[in-house]
Amino acid sequence: MRKQIEGSRAVAEAVALARPEVICAYPISPQTHIVEALSAIVKSGELEPCEYVNVESEFAAMSVAIGASAAGARSYTATASQGLLFMVEAVYNASGLGLPIVMTVANRAIGAPINIWNDHSDAMSQRDSGWIQLYAQDNQEAVDLHIQAFRLAEAVSLPVMVCMDGFILTHAVEEVELPEQQVVDDFLPPFEPRQVLDPDDPVSIGAMVGPEAFMEVRYLAHRRQMDALELIPEIAGAYGEATGRLRNGLISEYRLEDAEVVVVALGSVLGTLQDTVDALRDNGVRAGVLGITSFRPFPLDAVREAIGHVRTVVVLEKALAVGIGGIVTNNVRTALAGTAIPVRTVIAGLGGRPILQESLARMIETVDDLDELSFLDLRTDLVEREIERTRSSRRSGPTAENLLRDVGAVGDPHGVRTPR
Amino acid sequence: MSAEPIKFYQVGSFAVGNRLLDITERSAQSDPSRPNSINSGHRACQGCGEALGARYALDAAMRATAGDMVAVNATGCLEVFSTPYPETSWQIPWLHSLFGNAPAVATGVAAAMKVKGRETRVVGQAGDGGTVDIGMGALSGMFERNDDVLFICYDNEAYMNTGVQRSGATPPAARTATTQAVGDHPGNVFGQGKDLPRIAMAHEIPYVATATVANLRDLEAKVEKAMQMRGARYIHVLVPCPLGWGSASKDTILLARLAMESGLFPVFEAEYGEVTSVLPVRRRVPVTEYLRLQKRYAHLFHPEPDASTLERLQAMADRNFRRYDIQEVDV
C-alpha cells in the first residue's frame, strides 16, 4: 500500500510485517518513533504473537534479544548513537553467537560534545563487530531492507544492522509503499534455527572457547559474510520480483557509464549527490555517484567493477577516523587496489551539518585540487583560532567550551584562568 | 521455615539421614534418577561452594519443573569451570552470554518461551560480581518488570574467577587482592557493600530468599517453592570459596553454617517485600569462630587480635539477630 508516512512509522510497519516475536525497546533519539509505533502495534493486537519488552538500557535491549533469539524467537530492536555504544559488548556477543537479530540504527553522532543529529559515527564504530550493515538511502529502501534483513540474517546466521540516517530519514514524511502481509509471508519463512534452548534436546550455548577453536569461529564468521555477498543480491532479486522494486542490494550506481569523477557515499546523502550530478552533467561535467548499500560485507568486486574505469574518486564520509581520516575510503581503496585511480576523502555532515548541493558541486568541480583529506564546509575561522591558542598555551580543556572562550562568549577570550 | 519440619535422625553429624525418610520427603539430590543438571568432571576447585550450591539448586528447579527448564549463566567461575569447550557439564539447556547481562538474557529466553506458548521456565545465575555489581542494572530491570525468571546469586563475596578481587558483596575487613591486609585499616572498608536480598525486596517482587550450602535441604525447598511461583524471584546463596577465603576445602559447609549461626549471614524468606520466615540457628556463635578459619581475616588475629574491628563485626552480626529476630532453636 502506498502512503505518505514518516520514515520511522514506515520502518515500524515493515518490521511488524516481518512478524518479530520479541521486540526490545529503549528510547534514544532519533529512533524513538520506531519503537513507539511498534509499541502501539503490539499492544493493539495487530502483531500477534509478539512480546514487547521495555528494558532499562540498550545493553539490556541487546541482551534480551540475545536470549530470545537463542531460544528461537525472531528478535528485533532499534537504537542509535550513545545507545549503540552502550550495548557494544552485547553487539559483539550477538554476532559471535551467530544470532540473527535485526536492529535498526537511526544514525546519529557520538559525543562529546553531545549531539543528537545525524552522521554515521555510531554504525561505523561497529563495522568490525561481525554484524552485516546495510545503509538505506531513502525511506522506501529502509522499509525494503528491513524485510530483507530478517531473511538474510536467518539465512547466514548473523545479525543485521539496518542503518538509516537519523532525522533526515527517520523523521521525514514521504511516499512509501509497504508490501502486503501475504507478500512478506511468502518472501520470509518462519525462523527455524538449527540449535535452540530446548529442554527436549539440551545444548550448551556460549561455552568458553580456547585457542584451539577460536580462530576457526572467527574465520567462519568472515566466510558467512562472504556468503552474504552472494546472497544479498539474490534476496534483493527475490524481493524485487515479489514487490516490483528491484535494487542490487550491494551497491547503487548512478550515471557511472561514462563518468570521469565518481563520488562514493552511503545513506541519504546519495539523493543530494544524484541531484548535484544531474545539474553538473547539464554543464558538461561527467560525474557519477556510487552508493554502498552493503558496507559489511564490503562488496569489493562490485565496487571495482562499477568504478574501476573512472579518472578520479571522492569518498564522501559522514564519519571520521580521528588520527587517519576516512573509513569508507580505506575500503574503496582496497577495492581499487592495483589501479592508479586517486581516491580522496571528504568528511561531511558531522553532527548534522547540512550537506549543501552547492558545496558538493564545488567539491566535484575542483576535485583535482582536493587534498587527500578535507572537510566540507569546515568553519576554518573557529578552528584556526583554537589551533593558534593551543600553539601558545599547552593547557588542556574541553574542546567545544574552549571554542566559546576563544570567541569571547564565555570568560576571558585569551583563555587565561589563574590556577588556584 | 520453608522446609518441612522433619525430625531427622542424626548419624553422628549434622548431615541428614535421607535413607531413613519416606521417599516423598527426600531431597531432590537423594533421588538416584536426579537430573544431574551439572554433572561431575567439571573443573571447580576442591571444596567449591558454588558447584555444590548450583548442583542442588538446579536439580531442585528441574524437579519442580519436571525438567522443562533453561538456565542462563553470567560469566564467572561457574561458567568457566563448567564449559571448557568442547566439553560441558550441563545436562540442561544452558546459555552464557556476558558478565553483566544474565538477568536480561534470561528475560529474553522467558519472552521467547511465552511467545511460543511453551511452559519452559527460566533460571538465571551469576556470582556476586555478576549480580550485585556489573549485572545489577539488568537485575533491577528484570525485577521491576516482574519477568518470569528465578535469578540465583551464588555469593562467595569477591571476584574469585579473576583472582579474588573485592566486589560490592565483600564483607568489611576481608582481605582481597584489591583490599590488601596492609595499612592502618587492613582489608575491605566498613560501611560499603550491597545487601542485594534487601534491594531485591525493595522491588516488592513475589519472592526473595537467602540460603547457604550448609543447609542444602533448605536451599532445595526454597528453589522448589520459587519455581511454584510466577514473576521475578531471587535467591541469594552463600557459597564459601576455599581459594578466595583461604579456608580448608573440608570446611566449606562448616563455614557456611558458622556464617549463619554467627548472624553474619541471615537466612530468611520474603514475599512482596516482607520477611515471611527466618531460619533459626541451632546455637549462636561469636563471629570469631567463623572468622578464625579464614586466612582473609588472618590480620584480625595476628600478630595481635584487632579487638575494635572484631567488635564492629560482632555488632553487625548482633544487628542481624535483632533485625531478623533470629531464634536459637535446638532441633
Structural domains of chain B in order of their starting residue, each with its CATH number: 37-324 (3.40.50.970)
Q: Are B158 and B167 in contact (CB under 8 A)?
A: yes
| Residues of chain B in Cβ contact (below 8 Å) with chain A | 67-70, 72-73, 79-80, 83-86, 88, 90-98, 100-101, 104-117, 120, 137-138, 140-141, 144-145
pLDDT in tens, B144-172: 999 999 999 999 999 999 999 999 999 99
pLDDT in tens, A193-228: 988 999 999 999 999 999 999 999 999 999 999 999
Q: Are B172 and B189 in contact (CB under 8 A)?
A: yes
pLDDT of residue B8: 53
pLDDT of residue A209: 93
For the cut 80, the answer to whether the pLDDT of residue B254 exceeds it is yes
d(CA B182, CA B184): 7
pLDDT of residue B208: 98
For the cut 90, the answer to whether the pLDDT of residue B9 exceeds it is no
pLDDT of residue B27: 81
For the cut 60, the answer to whether the pLDDT of residue B324 exceeds it is yes
Q: Chain A partners of B84 at a C-beta cutoff of 8 Å? A: 207-208, 210
- The residue of chain B with its CA nearest to that of A66 is B105
Show the CA angle centred on residue B293, arms to residues B288 and B299, nearest 5°.
70
- Same fold? A2-243, A251-375: yes
For the cut 90, the answer to whether the pLDDT of residue B20 exceeds it is no
Mutation target vs B (from A22, A64, A93, A203; most B CBs, 10 A cutoff):
A64
Tell me the CATH number for domain A2-243: 3.40.50.970
Closest CA to A296 of A232, A343, A208: A232
Q: Where are the domains of chain A?
A: 2-243, 251-375, 380-420
pLDDT of residue A6: 98
Mutation target vs A (from B85, B92, B146, B151; most A CBs, 10 A cutoff):
B85
CB contact under 8 A, B80 and A203: no
Three-class SS string for B59-86? Answer: HHHHHHCCCCEEEEECCCHHHHHHCECC
C-alpha cell at A144: 525494503
Ranges under pLDDT 70 in chain A: 412-420
Chain B contact for A211 (CB, 8 A cutoff): no
Q: Taking residues B208-227, what's their average pLDDT?
A: 96
Q: Chain A partners of B54 at a C-beta cutoff of 8 Å? A: none
Residues in chain B: 331
Show the CA angle centred on residue A299, arms to residues A373 and A232, nearest 5°.
140
For the cut 90, the answer to whether the pLDDT of residue B141 exceeds it is yes
- What is the nearest CA distance from A63 to chain B, expressed in angstroms? 5
CATH topology of domain A251-375: Rossmann fold (3.40.50)
